[in-house]
Amino acid sequence: MASPFSTPEQRAEERSAKRQAVLRAAVRMFNERGFNATLLDDVAASLGISKPTIYHYLGNKEQVLLECVALGLEQFLAAADQARRMSGSGLDRLRHFLRAYAQVNMDDFGRCVIRTGPEALSPEGAQSLRERKRRIDAAMRSFIEEGMADGSIARSDPKILAFTLAGALNWPARWHVAGGELSAQAIAHQMVDILTLGLAPR
């Protein structure tokens, strides 16, 4: 007969599942209502738990937000690592990265990274957010510079190019609504084709 007591592994797994459930509920509310308008009480109520339970698993509202941003950031950085390991030209790697970047942007945690401005946070929180965002920008820049060096990308100002690509692909974080007629993947592929191939018939 199974023991009514959890093993340490089971307890760690339960703890992690509970944290994940809180983060998923919180990030959706942050994205919908904004950080300031979101109350941890409402996040707790949506899960049938109390606010102290959220404090116990994650901490206060800013700590919950920073954890959501950290999860989104991990997805962006995983996309960069994957692109870095690909063979092909700098442009090939950039395209691979941009497609993943666009899709993360349309997912809950990636959207939260883009939508969270430093003004919502404490000075330390804002600093940590800025540093993390800078790492994503640096990854984008490295693929651009590789492509310019190997001749697969036309030479131009890498900073303007990175802003143009990121700007276009960040925009869906503000308007894409999951469940529309096109999948996030289809939108990402079309956008990256436009951005890298240009508009002329081909």
Per CB under 8 A, residues contacting a copy of itself are 34, 91, 94, 119, 147, 151-157, 160-161, 163-172, 175, 182, 187, 190-191, 193-202
Tokens of 14: 């339960």
Cβ distance to a copy of itself smaller for residue 34 or 52: 34
Question: Which amino acid appears at position 145 of this protein?
Answer: E
Q: How far apart are CB 109 and a copy of itself at their closest, in Å? A: 20
Sign of CA dihedral 84, 86, 89, 91: negative
Residue 202, classified by CB atoms within 10 Å of its CB into exposed (0-12), middle (13-18) or buried (19+), is exposed
Cβ distance to a copy of itself smaller for residue 12 or 149: 149
Helix (H) or strand (E) run with residue 105 in it: helix 90-105
Question: How far is the C-alpha of 176 from the C-alpha of 186, rounded, in Å?
Answer: 12
Cβ distance to a copy of itself smaller for residue 25 or 91: 91
Cβ distance to a copy of itself smaller for residue 26 or 192: 192
Q: How far apart are CB 160 and a copy of itself at their closest, in Å? A: 5
C-alpha distance from residue 86 to each of 93, 99, 129, 137, 140 (Å): 7, 14, 28, 19, 15
Q: How far apart are CB 72 and a copy of itself at their closest, in Å? A: 18
Q: How far apart are CB 181 and a copy of itself at their closest, in Å? A: 10
Smallest Cα–Cα separation from 180: which of 127, 112, 106?
A: 106
Cβ distance to a copy of itself smaller for residue 9 or 32: 32
The 3-state DSSP class for residue 63 equals helix
Cβ distance to a copy of itself smaller for residue 5 or 175: 175
Sequence-ordered list of residues with C-beta below 8 angstroms from that of 91, at least 6 positions apart, any chain: 147, 152, 153, 196
